Amino acid sequence: MAAQRQRSRCRTVAMRSAAILCISYAATSLVVAQDLLPEKSVGVRDRPRPEYDPLGIRVGLLHLSPKLTIGESYDDNVFATESNEANDLITKVASDVSLQSRGRIPWSLSGGISSGTYAEYSHENYVDWRGGLALAQAFGARTQTVLSASMARNHESPGDPAFPASVIERPDFTTKRAELELSRELGFGRLKFSANIESSDYNDARTVDGAELDQDFRDRNVWELNLRNDFSVGPNTALFIRLLHRQQQYDKTDEVSGVDRDAATDAIYGGAAIWISNLVRGEVGVGVQEVDNVDPSQADSRSLAFDGNLEFYLTQLLTATLQAQRSSGAADIAGSSSYVATVIGVKLDYELRRNVILAASFSHSERDYSGLDSNDTSSLSAVSAQWLLNRHARLNFTFSMVDRDYALRTTGRSFTQDVFSADLSFVW
């Protein structure tokens, strides 16, 4: 019976993948709709500042861009608990470097390492790293191919929904990702197809009594296919349609609940990108997504899907950004295979001076997990200031407030957390 179910699942995946590939041949043109719009205005955060932008280091056809950041953070709730909160000072150091070639076949290498050292709770110390490679190849003037691969090692934050409450140190996990993008530009628009796979591998964690806590049940692979067709319908308007198929497969069944957490998501979006003079620019897509969970105890879901990003130019010195998204993802908590997440956020960027940028933001998110009769909600508020000292140095200050309610957890994962950070970055 299990073998029969596996064969049926494989046939379903193959049929869905083939359908999307067939549609990609039948569709007519694509890429990001905003790329088809004219350049009229740029927000405060993204506008060029030639007198402060780093130039990088050029050696022949190579362009090297190093960055070093050193900072301090004060966290008033290090372990993200509802009671008995503990505070600490964290020294953070991060170095990043990218190397680009502008030869016949453009390529880029990037990598970095970051660390956090706690003044009192040294068992929270962490060192993370990341690296990636990207190759681009043009076939004529209208066809572009990009192949990229990356790998990273990170430590899980105590505030994450799936963070094990009984551990004494942060679990670390490795993520590998590979992606292929194909785009074709036609006279009235663009066609873009992408395929990627992401693999997550969690290492075991250590509990407060010294025992090892198995985390292998969280290991998974996620495949995703995207097709997007964009076409211009006017000097300031472009329409698009997007198709998505995502397949998640866990290495092991959840031993705690016995739930098979394999699932598939199919979605279709339609929308428009607009640019109204110097007033607003962005795009909004609305559609339907269907999550098909393999385990019969996990109810399938069909819901409204949307993805929007609008930038309002209130004045030359003030930009407001509104973001809204509803999507699905793989759940790695006991008893659930997938979730549907809704995120809404707003951000203000203000140019106090040419080299001083102030920002304020607020976002609210909600996750609805399959197989569990409860939601997780989270609100994040932040204010920040960036001071561009010169081409090579910038000073950043950030104060953030998190209010999270993990109703799924019975061990006190609902919490509030305030963090103040100050750091100095050196760029070349």
- Cα 391 to its chain centre, rounded Å, is 28
In this structure, the strands spanning 126-139 and 415-427 are: unpaired
User: Residue 40 — very low, low, confident or very high, per pLDDT cuts 50/70/90?
Assistant: low
Q: What band does 15 get if pLDDT is binned at 50, 70 and 90?
A: very low
- CA quadruple 184, 186, 192, 193: dihedral sign: negative
Distance in angstroms (rounded) separating the CA atoms of residues 68 and 92: 11
pLDDT reported for residue 215 = 84
More confident of the two residues 391 and 235: 391
> Which pLDDT score, from 0 to 100, does residue 373 have?
73
Q: Which of 56-60, 163-167, 191-195, 228-232 has the highest mean pLDDT?
A: 191-195
Rounded to an integer, the average pLDDT of 380-385 is: 98
Distance of alpha carbon 319 from alpha carbon 269, whole angstroms: 27
Say if residue 277's pLDDT is above 50. yes
- Of the pLDDT bands very low, low, confident and very high (cuts 50, 70, 90), residue 10 is very low
When pLDDT is cut at 50, 70 and 90, the band that residue 182 belongs to is: very high
Tokens coding 344: 């809404």
168 token code pair: 């004494």
Mean pLDDT of all residues in 205-212 = 80
- pLDDT digit string (tens) for 166-180? 787 888 999 999 999
Long-range contacts from 98-103, C-beta under 8 angstroms, 24+ separation: 98/64, 98/65, 99/62, 99/63, 99/64, 99/65, 100/62, 100/63, 100/65, 101/61, 101/62, 101/63, 102/61, 102/63, 103/61
Q: What is the pLDDT of residue 86?
A: 93
Would you say residue 356 has pLDDT above 90? Answer: yes
Q: How confident is the model at residue 278 (pLDDT cuts 50, 70, 90)?
A: confident
Nearest to 72 by CA among 119, 113, 39, 38: 119
Can you tell me whether residue 26 is helix, strand or coil? helix
- The tally of CA atoms less than 13 A away on the side-chain side of residue 135 is 7
**Mean model confidence pLDDT for the chain:** 86
Domain that holds residue 413: 2-427
Could you read off the pLDDT of 98-117 as tens digits, one per residue?
999 977 889 999 999 999 99
**pLDDT score, position 12:** 47
* Measured distance CA(64)–CA(252) in Å, rounded: 42
Tokens of 29: 């043109």
* Beta-strand pair 107-118/88-101: antiparallel
User: What are the two backbone dihedrals, phi and then psi, of residue 320, each rounded to the nearest 5 degrees?
Assistant: -115, 135
Can you give the pLDDT at residue 45? Answer: 87
The rounded distance, in Å, linking the Cα atoms of 408 and 370 is: 12
- Please determine, for residue 292, whether its predicted confidence score (pLDDT) is greater than 70: yes
Question: What is the pTM for the complete model shown?
Answer: 0.83
**pLDDT higher for 89 or 376?**
89
Return the closest-CA partner of residue 157 out of 346, 352, 419, 371.
419
Model pLDDT, residue 336:
85
pLDDT of residue 17: 43
Number of domains in the chain: 1
Q: Is 210 left (phi over 0), alpha (psi -120 to 50) or beta?
A: left
Extract the tokens encoding 263: 């699932």
- The dihedrals phi and psi of 85, each to the nearest 5 degrees, come to -65, 145
% of the chain beyond a pLDDT of 70? 89
What is the C-alpha separation between 266 and 338, in angstroms, rounded?
13
CATH number for the domain that contains residue 251: 2.40.160
Percent of the chain at pLDDT > 90 equals 58
Residue tagged 């609100």 (tokens):
379
The three-state DSSP-derived secondary structure of 91-106 is: EEEEEEEEEEECCCCC
Instruction: With beta carbons less than 8 A apart as the criterion, state whether 225 and 194 touch.
Output: yes
Cα(191)–Cα(186) distance, integer angstroms? 8
Count, residues in the chain: 428
